[in-house]
Structure 1
Amino acid sequence: MNIGIIGTKGIPNRYGGFEQFAEFLSVYLVEKGHSVTVYCPNHQSYKSKIYKGVNLVFKTEPSFLGPSGQFIYDFHCLRHARKADFDILLQLGYTSNTIWWFLLPKNAVVLSNMDGLEWQRVKYNYFVRRFLRIAEYLAVKSSDICISDSIEIKKYLRNKYKIDTAFIAYGAVPFEQPEASFLKKYEVEPYGYSMLIARMEKENNIEMILDGYVKGGSEKPFIVIGDAEGNSFGRYLINKFKANSQIRFLGQNYNQEDLNNLRFYARAYFHGHSVGGTNPSLIEAMASQAFVIAHNNVFNKAVLNDDAFYFKNVEEVADYSLTVEKKNYLHFVNKNLQKVKEQYSLEKIHQAYLNLFETACKKS
């Protein structure tokens, strides 16, 4: 098959969950003998036109326009994809590319991963949220197949649009060979710190987590991994907590060995994501044998079930920061690792996408 993937900030991943997913899936598909093209913004640091056998096509994203530049980027990507003779075009998300739905290639099977409930993100004003509801509708109507990465998203789309989506979550590789030496560069001790990994977005409840940790009075370090310097909210958090020496903003980090070991040896791993979908960073935390304390919402509960603690306010975070730690809840950790092996293994998820692509091509 000739497969195109659009809707990301490019590969190799230097941004987030969709990008990591696109990187792993595209390489897997190439290894299975298929031709894969991933669209990338022209300003990304990796400039080669080939990445591990995957074809990269670079298109202009005028970053000086801020988020609006994404609309122009998607326009260029779809114009190219329309002429590329793809059998499959996989869209990751729908935020901006749906306004160009009329440019979708006529001969390709169009599959759209519907992501989470984008219109619920608190960073958006009323008008943007209204637009995102329309974009969601357009994605449903213009796609041959819609994909849900969460059972709850599948239920939502079935109730709202009366469609049956393909359910495929995200995957991770179980991590079972920890090495504490990786912690030295971060100046932390095994089980002597807590942490989170997230993009600096309000709906990830990072401020709530850090407020709670400070309120709890723990003197142990709390590591924040994510590009805090990269947006106004992240810079606000750095400034707010600069007087709290235990809060450490470490910036972006894509070194998987470091991240796996940091998650494994954390006293607690806080997961604050709240807006829909099965979040890749949660699956990776489970695969790294982290002890997870998650924001209390249906999406996180659909993955973790009863094998985690949940918080919904600062007070609950404060209490957890002092009273719970990994060594007392290894049964949670082991059950979540088993879920990864049985339900969220990377091989299983990739094979599910390949099966879906093959079935879609046969029917077209």
Structure 2
Amino acid sequence: MKVAILGTRGVPNYYGGFEQFAEYFSVYLADKGHEVYVYNSHNHPYQEKMFKGAHIIHKHDPEYKMGTFGQFIYDYNCIMDSRKRDFDIILQLGYTSSSIWFFLLPKKSVIISNMDGLEWKRSKYSAPVRQFLKFAERLAAISSDYLVADSLGIQKSLKNRYNKESEYIAYGAYPFEKPDETVIKEYNVEKGNYNMVMARFEPENNIDMVLEGVVQSGNKTPILVIGKHETKYGAYLKNKFGAHSHIRFMGGIYNINHLDNLRYYSNLYFHGHSVGGTNPSLLEAMASKAFIIANNNDFNKGVLKNNAFYFSNPQEVANIVNTLKKSDNLQAIENNYKAIIDDFNWEKINGDYLHFFKKCLTKK
């Protein structure tokens, strides 16, 4: 098959979940003998034409100049280029800035869209933007030949809102197998004697709620706050909690080995995400044997089931900080790790996508 992957800033991953998936899946396809192309922003740090067997197509991306609106132009540039290349399948990752161009997609290609999370529910967006995102989601759902949902909650929503079937294929993670205690010494923490929260600095990820609970607990165990905080919301959080020396704003950490070790050796790992599908960082936490304390919502419960503790407010966070220990919950941690091996490993996820591609192509 000749396959294109659109909707990311490019590979290798320097940004987020879709980029990580595009990296793993494109290499997997190439290894299986398929011809795969990944669209990259023109200013992506990786400027070669090939990446581990996958073709890289760089297209102009004015986001660095224009902000969010530049994403629409980048997606337009990618879609216009795809019209010239006779792809069998075009996989679109997300819809936020691409679905308005659906009428330009090549008619001969099978269009498969991964519908991402419920973007229009994200509180960081204004009311008009959220209305647009609802419209964009509808366009993608109706115009795509086939849909992929990365959580059962998203699958249910697509059926209820648009009466559209979708293929449930979760996100993936690699099991973490080689802990190295020397790594965490770089971060001035001791094994089992620190907590973590890791997320993008956005209100719906509930970093504020977690840190409020940490302060209320009176517990002075260090907590590492990992995520790029040079934002308006980041400034708000640093100002609010900056006087508490045990709350350490670490910035973004993108070295996966360092993150895996930090998660593995932490005591409590807080996962505050409240919107979206199967969150990549949640699976990575499960894969690195973190003891997970998650925001109480259907998306997180659908993945973790009874193998985590849940919080809905700062008071519950405070109680958890003062009463729970990783060492008392090893079975839940093992259950999550087994779920990664059985259900969420990348080899299975990539194989599920390839099988779905073949099925869609046969139908077309």
User: Which residue of the partner structure matches residue 128 of structure 2?
Assistant: 127
> Equivalent residue of 1:154, what SS?
helix
CA distance in 1, matches of 2:322, 2:177: 27
1:238 deviates by 2.4
Find out whether 1:269 has 2:254 as its counterpart: no
1:267 deviates by 0.3
Find out whether 1:235 has 2:240 as its counterpart: no
The superposition leaves residues 269-294 of structure 1 with CA deviations (integer Å, 9 ceiling, x where unpaired) of 11011112111111111011110000
CA distance in 2, matches of 1:320, 1:169: 29
1:57 deviates by 1.4
Moved more, 167-176 or 47-56: 47-56
CA distance in 1, matches of 2:87, 2:273: 34
User: Which residue of the partner structure matches residue 4 of structure 1?
Assistant: 4
1:108 deviates by 0.9
The superposition leaves residues 243-283 of structure 1 with CA deviations (integer Å, 9 ceiling, x where unpaired) of 11111122222212111111111101110111121111111
User: Which residue of the partner structure matches residue 338 of structure 1?
Assistant: 338
Amino acid at match of 1:48: E
Amino acid at match of 2:204: E
1:66 deviates by 1.2
User: Which residue of the partner structure matches residue 355 of structure 1?
Assistant: 355
User: Which residue of the partner structure matches residue 95 of structure 1?
Assistant: 96
Find out whether 1:161 has 2:200 as its counterpart: no
User: Which residue of the partner structure matches residue 80 of structure 2?
Assistant: 79
User: Which residue of the partner structure matches residue 316 of structure 1?
Assistant: 316
> Equivalent residue of 1:175, what SS?
coil
User: Which residue of the partner structure matches residue 112 of structure 1?
Assistant: 113
CA distance in 2, matches of 1:302, 1:284: 16
User: Which residue of the partner structure matches residue 253 of structure 2?
Assistant: 253
User: Which residue of the partner structure matches residue 189 of structure 2?
Assistant: 188
What percentage of aligned pairs have identical amino acids?
A: 52
Amino acid at match of 1:26: S
The superposition leaves residues 147-175 of structure 1 with CA deviations (integer Å, 9 ceiling, x where unpaired) of 00001111111111111100000111111
User: Which residue of the partner structure matches residue 222 of structure 2?
Assistant: 221
1:239 deviates by 2.7
The superposition leaves residues 196-247 of structure 1 with CA deviations (integer Å, 9 ceiling, x where unpaired) of 2211111111111111112212212111221112x22123222322211111
CA distance in 2, matches of 1:345, 1:32: 18
User: Which residue of the partner structure matches residue 200 of structure 1?
Assistant: 201
Find out whether 1:328 has 2:300 as its counterpart: no
Gaps of 5+ in 1: none
The superposition leaves residues 89-142 of structure 1 with CA deviations (integer Å, 9 ceiling, x where unpaired) of 001111010111111111111100011110000011111111111111100111
> Equivalent residue of 1:36, what SS?
strand
1:177 deviates by 2.6
> Equivalent residue of 1:186, what SS?
coil
CA distance in 2, matches of 1:11, 1:102: 26
CA distance in 1, matches of 2:81, 2:127: 32
CA distance in 2, matches of 1:48, 1:284: 28
The superposition leaves residues 295-326 of structure 1 with CA deviations (integer Å, 9 ceiling, x where unpaired) of 00000000001110001111111111121121
> Equivalent residue of 1:83, what SS?
coil
CA distance in 2, matches of 1:32, 1:235: 46
1:27 deviates by 1.0
CA distance in 1, matches of 2:296, 2:281: 16
User: Which residue of the partner structure matches residue 302 of structure 2?
Assistant: 302
Amino acid at match of 2:223: F
Query: What TM-score comes out, normalization by structure 2 length?
Result: 0.97
CA distance in 2, matches of 1:13, 1:177: 22
1:5 deviates by 0.7
Contact 1:16 1:199 in 2 (8 A): no
User: Which residue of the partner structure matches residue 153 of structure 2?
Assistant: 152
CA distance in 2, matches of 1:125, 1:305: 32
CA distance in 2, matches of 1:86, 1:201: 37
1:73 deviates by 0.8
CA distance in 2, matches of 1:65, 1:247: 34
The 5-angstrom pairing of residues 160-179 of structure 1 reads 160-179=161-180
Moved more, 181-190 or 59-68: 59-68
Contact 1:10 1:40 in 2 (8 A): yes
> Equivalent residue of 2:233, what SS?
helix
> Equivalent residue of 2:179, what SS?
coil
Contact 1:25 1:350 in 2 (8 A): yes
CA distance in 1, matches of 2:162, 2:110: 20
> Equivalent residue of 2:33, what SS?
coil
* Paired residues, number: 363
CA distance in 2, matches of 1:148, 1:287: 21
CA distance in 2, matches of 1:8, 1:338: 30
> Equivalent residue of 2:344, what SS?
coil
Amino acid at match of 2:286: M
